């Protein structure tokens, strides 16, 4: 039987295995990280929520760009994916000024070579979404790069192609989220190249771990926005005075339950599908 599965690598909250030469298995755990530290307490079903959301968006955007999703397994947390040659850049699109984009803007007035209007507030919507790629750091933080640095890593033609596709994907998903009362502030996409040289959307897409989702009715530019999913965890960790180095604190049951509810709420609002239906039959996420 051909059932030997090689472990290829661990992300902070996911595991990657090789099924064969052409296929990978991506498994999302229930681990949660905050301030870049994985906590010792898990959020039940978080891996299923993220896997279901990612599968949903792959299905929704399949006409814009091909993606690596081959199959969603019955456990709801594992996906079989096409094995690709991954591009060495993170393809970030920002529609709002948050995180490292806000930091860079404060320091230089620019983000990844995009000169922005003066006087923008933290979290403010940008005049138009911008493509702000980053290097993939093996350890530590990804570094924002400009067009010249990105093109040096992937080639001019590929750079133009991933920029165009990333902006199209952001526009499509953010318009849909906006109708549901959710702001997609920014998102990180990863592309690979298949054996025929075609670009393919890979990794996870439009999940709370790869994107900033903000509830539109609580949006207040001029400061950081509460995170849709992790705010209870962050607030609890801040209340402890933890120094944000390993190891992180255990989470109490009310913080776990509140956070789990937020993840499920995000899934149900964005997909329009009851999470219980997804657990019974993950295929519902694919439409
Ligand atoms: C790939 N990662 C990130 C690391 C994880 C995930 N379709 C693909 N083909 C080839 N390689 C990758 C993918 C995808 N997706 C993704 N690294 C390689 C990563 C560790 C654990 F779950």
| pLDDT given at position 86 | 98
- pLDDT at 35 > cutoff 90: yes
Joined tokens for residue 65: 């760009």
Question: What is the CA(200)–ligand 1 centre distance, in A?
Answer: 13
Rounded to an integer, what is the distance from CA 152 to the centroid of its chain?
25
| pLDDT given at position 106 | 98
Question: What is the CA(7)–ligand 1 centre distance, in A?
Answer: 11
Asked whether 192 lines ligand 1 (CB < 6 A), one says yes
| pLDDT given at position 140 | 81
- pLDDT at 238 > cutoff 80: yes
Closest approach atom of ligand 1 to CA 190: 15
CB 26 within 8 A of CB 14: yes
Residue 78: C-alpha distances to residues 48, 49, 85, 261 (Å):
8, 11, 20, 21
Q: Where are the beta strands (DSSP E) in the chain?
A: 6-10, 14-18, 23-28, 33-34, 37-38, 69-72, 78-82, 85-86, 89-96, 110-111, 114-115, 125-131, 134-135, 182-193, 199-202, 211-215
Give the whole-angstrom CA distance, residue 122 versus residue 270.
25
**Confidence band for 132, pLDDT divided at 50, 70 and 90:** very high
Mean pLDDT of 102-129: 98
Question: What is the CA(16)–ligand 1 centre distance, in A?
Answer: 6
Give the whole-angstrom CA distance, residue 169 versus residue 23.
24
Joined tokens for residue 88: 């060495």
Joined tokens for residue 220: 């207040």
Taking alpha carbons only, the member of 43, 73, 110 closest to residue 256 is 43
| pLDDT given at position 4 | 85
Give the whole-angstrom CA distance, residue 24 versus residue 1.
17
| pLDDT given at position 6 | 97
Joined tokens for residue 43: 């959020």
Residue length of the chain: 287
**Confidence band for 3, pLDDT divided at 50, 70 and 90:** confident
Give the whole-angstrom CA distance, residue 74 versus residue 49.
13
Closest C-alpha residue for ligand 1 atom 18: 86
- pLDDT at 105 > cutoff 90: yes
* Residue 213, C-beta contacts closer than 8 angstroms, at least 6 positions apart: 177, 182, 183, 184, 185, 228, 229, 266
**What number of other Cβ atoms are within 10 A of residue 180's Cβ?**
11
Asked whether 203 lines ligand 1 (CB < 6 A), one says yes
Question: What is the CA(205)–ligand 1 centre distance, in A?
Answer: 12
195 exposure class (CB count in 10 Å sphere: 0-12, 13-18, 19+): exposed
């Amino acid at each position: 039987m051909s059932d030997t599965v090689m472990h290829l690598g661990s992300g902070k909250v996911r595991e990657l295995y090789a099924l064969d030469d052409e296929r990978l298995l991506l498994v999302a755990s229930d681990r949660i990280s905050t301030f870049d530290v994985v906590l010792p307490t898990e959020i039940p079903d978080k891996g299923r929520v993220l896997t279901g959301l990612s599968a949903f968006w792959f299905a929704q955007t399949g006409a814009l760009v091909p993606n690596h999703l081959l199959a969603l397994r019955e456990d709801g947390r594992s996906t079989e994916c096409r094995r690709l040659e991954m591009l060495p850049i993170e393809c970030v699109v920002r529609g709002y000024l948050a995180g490292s984009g806000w930091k860079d803007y404060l320091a230089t007035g620019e983000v990844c070579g995009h000169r922005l209007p003066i006087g923008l507030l933290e979290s403010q919507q940008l005049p138009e979404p911008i493509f702000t790629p980053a290097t993939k750091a093996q350890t530590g933080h990804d570094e924002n790069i400009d067009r010249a640095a990105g093109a040096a890593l992937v080639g001019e033609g590929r750079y133009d192609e991933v920029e165009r596709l990333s902006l199209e994907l952001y526009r499509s998903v953010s318009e849909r989220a906006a109708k549901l009362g959710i702001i997609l502030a920014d998102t990180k996409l990863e592309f690979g190249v298949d054996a025929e040289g075609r670009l393919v959307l890979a990794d996870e897409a439009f999940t709370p771990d790869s994107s900033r989702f903000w509830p539109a009715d609580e949006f207040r530019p001029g400061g950081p926005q509460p995170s849709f999913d992790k705010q209870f965890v962050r607030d609890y960790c801040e209340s402890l005075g933890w120094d944000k180095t390993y190891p992180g604190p255990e989470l109490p049951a009310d913080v776990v339950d509140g956070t789990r509810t937020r993840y499920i709420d995000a899934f149900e609002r964005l997909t329009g599908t009851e999470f219980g239906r997804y657990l019974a039959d993950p295929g519902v996420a694919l439409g």
